[in-house]
A and B are shown apart, each in its own frame.
Chain A
Amino acid sequence: MSEPLLKLEGVHTHIGAYHILHGVDLEVMPGEMTVLLGRNGAGKTTTLRTIMGLWKATAGTITFRGEAIQALDTPDIAHRGLAYVPENMGIFADLTVCENMLLAARNARHIDQMDAKRLDWLFGLFPALKTFWQHPAGLLSGGQKQMLAVARAIIEPRPLLLIDEPSKGLAPSIIQNLISAFRELKQTETTILLVEQNFNFARQLGDRVAVMDDGRVVHAGSMADLVGDEGLQQKLLGLSLASHS
């Protein structure tokens, strides 16, 4: 088996006086989508933020492509090739859709320097972006903002995407759009670590799954195994997902 692209070993995170992550172990294999499940407050967002360096791990190691990144600053981590779609999407509301994309395209100093082919591909995935290209991003609907947030993360090829609950608050038809977009994205060898509470969404896309509870990963395995094992689902997700299915 190949080496994991991203590996967390015994990661602890404190936020102020609170001890939030209690030794997270997690492996993300290249080219796969790993879904991070777990009830509210389990520490999923904190895990992603710690990987991005937005919180600093107080103990443990985070290895990306063999390099320890837990002590790096967020911009340096981004430059290693990690892209982050936060829970609140992080859209710059005053800027246009186009300007949001330009800021995400680190290699382009000007709109004309953005990769036109890649933009066309993105417009294919998310047609709304093309329609509202020159409009302030703050005017987009929730689903459109989510699409912009994802598009921004992949405007240039990035080896690893961290995406936090993209389905949150979206109508089922929009979620279906996202699922097809992620399917197509998976064809491009992009590795994705997806936080998702919607198991229905997760099962359609995930290759692997890790379940968190109380600041730890309490289960890790293949998605197929979890989908095939109702008992395991009940045990791991009964608490968290009953209300979501």
Chain B
Amino acid sequence: MKIPDSPAQIMETLPSVKTDRLPLFLLPALALVALPLIGSFSTWVTLTFAGLAMGMIIFIIASGLTLVFGLMDVMNFGHGVFITLGAFIAVSVLGRMAGFTESPSLVRNLIAVVPAMLAAMVAAGALGLVFERIIIRPVYGQPLKQIMITMGGMIVAVELIKVIWGAQAIPLPLPEAFKGSLLFGETAIEKYRLIAVVVGLVIFAMLFWILSRTKVGLLIRAGVHDREMVESLGYRIGRLFIGVFVAGSALAGLGGVMWGLYQQSVTPEMGGAINVLLFIVIIIGGMGSIGGCFLGALMVGLVNNYAGFLAPKVALISNILLMVIVLLWRPQGIYPAGKA
């Protein structure tokens, strides 16, 4: 089929395409403000990289949550359980493959880590399917009940995890080749943080591609905007939602593996502990927006690490402060999803 048309004519009659680039400057601005406060350049680089790595992991975890809200207005306060499950699955898989993880060969490490990640995603996705069916579906359109029952569902699931893996923290050591740092002159960057940034970028690129280039992705975006119209065009929004929920759970499982490796330890409470950060991220980003979630997650990661260094006592409230500032600027978040 043919693509029109004379560009000159288009410019004449339509306002120029509005690309909202302003938020893209937030990250560099944040980093630049932090530099003089921190003082040392190499410390700043290290903290910035730690923040970006943490932000990428949070993004992987939160991406599904924001779409789940955008599509069905579902507030899932149980999302953290998929993180925990993913991390414990990694403990089990990697524990059985010590021969591979303790080898200095990157390839052998990956032979262990990749299956651990896939297993975590499958398990978290499967739990997501069950969670959607028995926890979420009975409370569509009832926000208050959603909050209660998803929190309750998470408590139950965490108890089950304790039954299987125990209540104690379990170490999750990094595979040999992931350990240590790369030196760039004065500054050291931990290898694993680099890996986390790369994985985060790959996931972001994939999600972006799906949402902008595939019909399913377009349907998800259309559904975030106007559910009824998507149904009137003949598509079952319920099925779309289940797919998004399961994919989002699987991504949270992957994020759990990465978060567990980042902290090199896994506890049944780790998912719940991150829950608050997730909601800060998706509120900052604009509920339902993947681009906003990405920026929000990176900002939260940076602020967390800068504040942890500069003023450890206020590190926790620094993210809430960030959220307040963003919302004063854009009350619907960075990229409002524009509900109809």
Contacts and interface: CB of A to CB of B under 8 A. Distances in A.
Given A116-B1, A119-B1, A133-B5, A86 B229 contact: yes
Nearest to B223: A92
A99 B218 contact: yes
A94 B5 contact: no
Contacts of B3: 133-134
Interface string B110-142: 000000000000000000000000000000000
A227 interface: no
Interface in A85-115: 86, 88, 90, 92-95, 99, 102-104, 106, 109-112, 114
Interface in B1-42: 1-5, 9-10, 13-15, 17-18
B232 interface: yes
Contact of B233 (A95, A103, A116, A133): A103
Given A54-B232, A131-B9, A94 B338 contact: yes
A183 to B, nearest CB: 25
Contact of A90 (B1, B13, B232, B338): B232
Tell me which of B10, B17, B229, B235 has the highest count of chain A C-beta atoms within 10 A of its own C-beta: B229
Contacts of A131: 4-5, 9-10, 13
A138 to B, nearest CB: 8
A66 interface: no
A90 B223 CA distance: 11
B233 A106 contact: yes
Interface string A107-140: 0011110101001000100000011111110111
B221 interface: yes
Nearest to A89: B229
A86 B232 contact: yes
Nearest to A99: B218
A103 B228 contact: no
Interface stretch (A4-12, A71-79, A174-182, A193-201): A71-79
A75 B17 contact: no
Closest 4 CB pairs of A and B: A90-B229, A78-B234, A74-B231, A116-B1
7 contacts: A74-B232, A86-B228, A88-B340, A90-B226, A103-B219, A104-B233, A133-B4
